[in-house]
Amino acid sequence: MAIEKVQIGDATLYCADCREVLPLLPAVDAVITDPPFGLGDKMQGGTWGAKVGFKEMLEWDAEPPSVDLLLKIASMAPRTVMWGGNYFGLPASRGWLVWDKANAVPTMADVELAWTNLDRPAKRFRGLVGRVEYGHPTQKPLDLMLWTIEQAGNPARVLDPFMGSGTTGVACAQLGKAFTGIERERRYFDIACERIERAYAQGQLIPHEAPKKPEQMGVFE
């Protein structure tokens, strides 16, 4: 598929398959991502799962990444956090992150786990699941991603090769971090661009240079 590139402030966003974009990218300070788990029909989604069109929303989850691809992604940064890492055969880790879903419903897991390559004790975040506001059934809460960035050592540049609706990019914009995001699904890419542009327009939590206007970088084969 063609690679489309959009620049919004310090966020560089690609609408493409990450396998095509990763060889073009330099090393980053941290990878923070939430890849598709491949759960398919096992993902019930609570009350959200009852909505019309939920099954169609899970099409992106039909092809989870291979362990080899995830390890290649992890090699691009000294610090890597992968939510849902327990669904893949990744190497042993002592630095797991745990999201304790304070308001999880019976059809949802009580916790979600993130594999990391951090050599330190496991840490827990307790926070509400929240509403799915932007059409992505596994959208992470913004507070969770702000905390995740902190746990990854407050990196200057973050890569998310499975960007989804862009919550990691929004967190980076608020914290003044450079961000590279990749998403192959057009509908979620457009949502991510809109959310990240809005985050820059609202300003950062930490003083940072004013962002540039969104710039369409074009489509190339």
pLDDT digits (tens, 9 = 90+) for 94-123: 999 999 988 767 767 889 999 999 999 999
Q: How confident is the model at residue 6 (pLDDT cuts 50, 70, 90)?
A: very high
Cα(62)–Cα(58) distance, integer angstroms: 7
48-90 per-position pLDDT tens digit: 444 445 555 556 556 789 999 999 999 999 999 999 999 999 9
pLDDT 10s digits, 16-46: 999 999 999 999 999 999 999 875 555 554 4
Predicted TM-score (pTM) of this structure: 0.83
Of residues 189, 210, 190, the one with CA closest to residue 200? 210
- Phi, psi values for residue 97, rounded to 5°: -105, 140
Mean predicted confidence (pLDDT) in 138-155 = 93
Residue whose token pair is 């990218």 = 25
Q: What is the pLDDT of residue 176?
A: 96
- The span from the CA of 88 to the CA of 164, in Å, is 19
- Domains, the chain: 6-208 (3.40.50.150)
Closest by alpha carbon to 214, among 23, 58, 11?
11
